[in-house]
Amino acid sequence: MSLRVYLGWDSREIDAFQVAAKSYASFGCEVIALHEDRLRLCGILTRPLDRRGRMFDLNSAAEQSTDFAISRFAVPLLAHSGWALFADADTMARQDPHLLLSIADDRFAVMVVKRTTTQMEGIKMDGQKQVAYHRKNWSSVALWNASHPAIARLNLTTLNQWPGRDLHAFKFLADDEIGCLPSAWNHLVGVDPPRSDPAIIHWTNGTPNLPGYEESEHAQVWREASQR
């Protein structure tokens, strides 16, 4: 069965999304774009946003750096059952994501790379504010088990009323309901020590098409993919 991969969609990251989508599709994955506006049209996403200037999430009392900052947590609701992968738009699959199904463990509601690396606050991407928070980047690549009973706690109320920092920290789950993926499946460029064999490369600070990130780790791989 083809693995469903839900990719974050942001109109400011179209080039990044296209590179990411092609990389997952090349392994036979079913790629689904997470369009925030479509989720709002069908009533799944209703949390209030102030769009004057930078997006400001009123429930979080904080800026929202991407359109998919919250919509990623709709994946279990959209998938309904079985395993599904979420990944940020600024990622690229370098190994077959179907390999994740061989380590998927039904004991867990979600499996992530449990990072201990702390990113400093500052500026990322196209001038977005870099904010530190508990379990930062755990949710940027997440293998969801939509059939797990604990997923029932991630409902429309949780999705639309909880502060984003609590969603990203997976506070709707107990610690023993969160499984661990090998670090290669969410390699953070510019944060993690360089590695030659990442399964998923994640240019979390900025993809190589953005000013200042042209020479980042694995930039040539990204540029070659963008030209195909």
133-148 pLDDT, tens digit per residue, is 679 899 999 999 999 9
pTM assigned to the model: 0.91
Domain count, the chain: 1
Alpha helices in the chain (DSSP H): 14-25, 36-41, 75-79, 156-161, 164-168, 219-226
CATH code of 175's domain: 3.90.550
Beta carbons of 145 and 84 less than 8 angstroms apart? no
pLDDT range class, residue 106, cuts 50, 70, 90: very high
Q: What is the DSSP letter of 219?
A: H
pLDDT range class, residue 53, cuts 50, 70, 90: confident
Domain residue limits at 73 = 4-226
pLDDT range class, residue 182, cuts 50, 70, 90: very high
pLDDT range class, residue 131, cuts 50, 70, 90: low
Judge whether residue 117 has pLDDT over 80.
Answer: no
In this structure, are strands 200-202 and 187-188 parallel, antiparallel, or unpaired? parallel
